[in-house]
Amino acid sequence: MKTDSLFYRIFQQYPGSFFELLNRPPEESDRYQFTSVEVKQLAFRLDGLFLPRAGDRDQPFYLAEVQFQPDDDLYYRIFAELFLYLRQYRPPNPWRVVVIYPNRGIERKQSRQFRELLNSGRVTRIYLDELEGESGLGVGIIKLVVESESAAIESARRLIERAEQALPPESIRRDIIDIIETIVVYKLPQLSREEIAEMLGLTDLKQTRFYQEAFADGRQEGRQEGRQEGRQEERINFARRLANLGNSPEAIAQLLGLPLEEIQQILQPSDEERS
């Protein structure tokens, strides 16, 4: 699993989760923009930066690092990138570093070089297996990444229920549910995406983002090229989207209620694609 990119996706789509980890109100994320910044001198890229919005000079900026593998060079790299960033951009806000580990056994402290920095109060180290008690939705999604396979489905179901209750804007709710489903797909690679969707109660295909995107595309093309051709484009676009998600032709045929032969024909590469 590409854990770091998954975490950065969570922070991008639900930034309140990061502030929940720090025991701060998730609404504090409204004052920040999550981004990445290139430090040009040595081509460093800081992928997880929470930068205060313009004019908010008293708030710290956060450099977030997700580390799920032992790395003796981690703190050398983090502090080198941090201080090069400070030199190059000279931000007016104080800095904070947040390192997220699955457990303490992964950390390599390098105390001889970095003890003072690690104990300065500007560095927060979070060990996900030590988070206890009732947590907010954001922390719950993050903890799902390290949840055992046997408990993942039940935890994901509870998170989806909470998302449906706590996130009234439909677009945000859909994105968060998609993240939860994606985490479970990574954790249970032996199951197909449609099997996982059924186990999570996400069986109404017409409510998924992929269906709505495909249907919208098909409707637009239908207006331009005629109703019949539009319906055919809907089927083709949607079938290909489902295939790109890893669904088999048999599963797609069952989901769309179409003959398997038609789905196989749709998914065949065109002469242009073969060349």
List, for residues 30-58, the tens digit of each pLDDT value. Answer: 999 998 887 765 556 777 899 998 777 88
pLDDT at 228: 53
pLDDT at 117: 95
Place of tokens 């040009």: 40
User: Quick one: 50 and 131 in the same domain?
Assistant: yes
Residue 15 vs residue 211, higher pLDDT? 15
| pLDDT tens figures, 129-157 | 998 766 788 999 999 988 888 889 999 99
How do beta strands 61-66 and 44-52 pair? antiparallel
- Given pLDDT bands bounded at 50, 70 and 90, which one contains residue 90? very high
Q: Which helix (H) or strand (E) holds 97?
A: strand 95-101
Greatest CA separation for the chain: 71
pLDDT at 73 exceeding the cut of 90: yes
User: Quick one: 11 and 31 in the same domain?
Assistant: yes
User: Quick one: 132 and 10 in the same domain?
Assistant: yes
User: Quick one: 99 and 36 in the same domain?
Assistant: yes
Number of domains in the chain: 3
Q: Which domain holds residue 220?
A: 205-274
Domain edge (last residue) among 165, 197, 229: 197
User: Quick one: 221 and 192 in the same domain?
Assistant: no
Quick one: tokens of 80? Answer: 């080198």
User: Quick one: 24 and 97 in the same domain?
Assistant: yes
User: Quick one: 117 and 167 in the same domain?
Assistant: no
pLDDT at 108: 92
> With pLDDT > 90 as the criterion, what percentage of the chain qualifies?
36
In degrees rounded to 5, what are phi and psi of residue 217? -60, -45
Distance CA 114, CA 99 (A): 14
**What is the pTM (predicted TM-score) of this model?**
0.69
User: Quick one: 14 and 80 in the same domain?
Assistant: yes
